[in-house]
Each structure stands twice: as structure tokens, then as C-alpha cells.
Amino acid sequence: MAKFPVPVSNTVKDLRARVLQWRKAGERVALIPTMGALHDGHLELVRIAKRSCERVITSIFVNPAQFAPTEDFDKYPRTFEDDLAKLASVGGELVWAPDKGEMYPVGFATKVIPAGTAEGLETDFRPHFFGGVATVCCKLFLQALPDIAVFGEKDYQQLCVIRQMVRDLNMPLEIVGAETVREADGLAMSSRNRYLTADERAKAVKIHHVVNGVAAAAARGAGLENALVEGRRALTYAGFGTIDYVTVRDAETLKDWTHGTGRPGRVLAAAWLGKTRLIDNVAVPAAA
């Protein structure tokens, strides 16, 4: 058996046995769901989990159910050894790395179909996505039985969908949202950033400037429509191709947001730069 810098579990049976031992010792367990290709944003999730849990499990599973046939499942970066070394450096206790047959055995047929916060935004462009995410996260939660699971705000709609699923289905765990970790210039860290060419990487940060600009107008309560139009124009000017959306939504329900409702908003954007789809989002504080 290969010697890894962090213990790796490949079967639900083995995972459950380890978690049971921790529970018997009265230890709290956290789960960090990932698809690998780990970067500092993921490691920050582990650090956050360690503040309230003695044991942190990081799952690494590139989930075929959340990719459309036209998407990048085959070329999604797989960097398992490197991921393990990174997790060892932040003290991750266990990696849960099932193969496809363990996650979706022959005959697997049950799906979680999220609604509410899953409607619109990403779903308008990736209709298969949240069904795949909700189903695999439901399975991961039941496999690992964690006290908490930590998700990055970078995938903001995903975080809202998972919170809603856990609430709606009375799943006995807490979902913790973690602030987006950014590169020095402000670009949100993402496993897919490695697809960018050097030229695209230099342009990519524009999406962050645009969501910040829209958030400033939304917070002022003036010039929002103009900021949205200008934001799209700025992305095109910077070299972005298709702009899927730039919008402001209610931070919890993801329904339409207007200034002065007393509710926090969230600016969300998704746009293509070459062959890479980038997303970003920032908060808009509630205004009375």
C-alpha cells in the first residue's frame, strides 16, 4: 500500500470506522468537500475547520454528475500527490478519496433536485450543475457524518444551495461559509485559474474590479443600472467573451435585490475569458 503524507480512505466502510473512533473519543469532525487541485483557498477552509473541530476530513472527488458532456470533466486538473502534501502542511487528518464506483455503484439511481436558491444564475447556463453538486454533497455528508462542512464563498450560489438543502432536509450538520481567498491582485483563487494563459491571467482580475464597482453603486443606492451596463462593457473591453451574468441579488434567497429593503445583497458575475469561465461575487451591506 502506498505511503501517503496524510491517511487516505477509499471506502465508505473504512471512512465510517475512522469517524466512529473519533466520535467515541468525543472529537468533533469537519468535512471540506473538494474536487482536488487544491490551492490556498482550500487550505484556508481546513484552517477554519480546525478552529472548532479536532478532526478535519478533506474529500477529493471529481464528481462527474456536475459536469455536462461538453464541459471539462476529462481535463479537470488532477493533482492528488501534490494535494496530499498541501493538506499535510496544514494538518489535515484524513483524505476521503472514493473512486467513481464507490461513490456511484452500479445501479445508483437516486438524485437530490435542489430548487429555490438553485434557480437562475448558474442554472441558466449549467442546468445539470446543482443537481450533481447537491447529490454528491448529500452523499458526502452521509458518508462522513461531520459536525460541520466548510465551503468557500467563491462559489456563492453553491453555498446557498447547500445551506438550503441542509435546512430543508434537516441534515444534522452546520454549514460554515468562508470568505473568498484572493491572489495579490484580487483575482479569486480557483482550480480553473490554471487554464488561463499569461495574457488572460493579467486580464482576469477585471471581473473582480467589475463586481466591486457594481457593489459600490448598489451600496450607494445610486447609479446601479449604469454600473451594471458599464461593468459588462468593461469586461468586453478587457477581452472577456460571453458574459453570462452580472447582477445583484438578495444575499440569502438570491432573488432580486433593491437598495433600501434592509436586506444584504450580493453582486455575482460569471464570464468567459478565452476557454475559461470565471465567477466572482462580493457582498453589499444592508441599507435601511
Site size for ligand PAF, by CB under 6 A?
10
Q: Using the minimum distance from each CB to ligand PAF, give the nearer residue, 34 or 206.
A: 34
CA angle 226, 242, 211 (to 5 degrees): 40
Q: Evaluate the CA torsion angle 174, 175, 180, 181 in order and state its sign.
A: positive
Adjacency order of strands within the sheet including 265-273 = 243-250, 265-273, 276-284
Angle between the N-to-C axes of helices 40-52 and 80-89, in degrees from 0 to 180, rounded to the nearest 10:
40
Q: Give whichever of 44 and 155 is closer to ligand PAF, judged by the CB atom.
A: 155
Check residue 34 for interaction with ligand PAF (CB under 6 A): yes
Stretch that binds ligand PAF, among 33-41, 85-93, 97-105, 205-213 (CB under 6 A): 33-41
**Which residues carry out catalysis?**
42
Does residue 155 belong to the site contacting ligand PAF (CB under 6 A)?
yes
Please state, in angstroms and rounded to a whole number, the distance separating the CA atoms of residues 94 and 250. 36
Q: Tell whether residue 281 is a contact of ligand PAF (CB under 6 A).
A: no
Q: Compute the least distance from the CB of residue 159 to ligand PAF, in Å.
A: 9
Please state whether 239 falls in left (phi above 0), alpha (psi between -120 and 50) or beta: left
Given candidates 43, 133, 227, 251, which one binds ligand PAF under the rule CB under 6 A? 133
Pairing of strands 276-284, 265-273: antiparallel
Q: Which residues contact 128 (CB under 8 A, 6 or more apart)?
A: 65, 66, 67, 68
Shortest Cβ 230–ligand PAF spacing (Å): 30
Q: How far is the CB of 35 from ligand PAF (least distance, A)?
A: 4
Contact mark string toward ligand PAF, 190..219, x via CB under 6 A: ------------------------------
For the record, the C-alpha cell of 41 comes out as 483557498
Is the separation of the CB atoms in 215 and 267 below 8 Å? yes
Q: At closest approach, how far in Å is the CB of 49 from ligand PAF?
A: 14
**Contact status: 33 vs ligand PAF (CB under 6 A):** yes
> Restricting to residues 156-195, which ones interact with ligand PAF according to CB under 6 A?
158
Contacts of 25 (CB under 8 A, 6+ apart): none
Rounded (10°) CA dihedral 254, 257, 263, 266: 60
Q: Give the shortest CB-134-to-ligand PAF separation in angstroms.
A: 9
Given the rule CB under 6 A, which of 16-24, 27-35, 170-178, 200-208 is the region that contacts ligand PAF?
A: 27-35
Position 63 contacts ligand PAF (CB under 6 A): yes
Under the rule (CB under 6 A), what is the footprint of ligand PAF?
Answer: 33-35, 63, 66, 133, 136-137, 155, 158
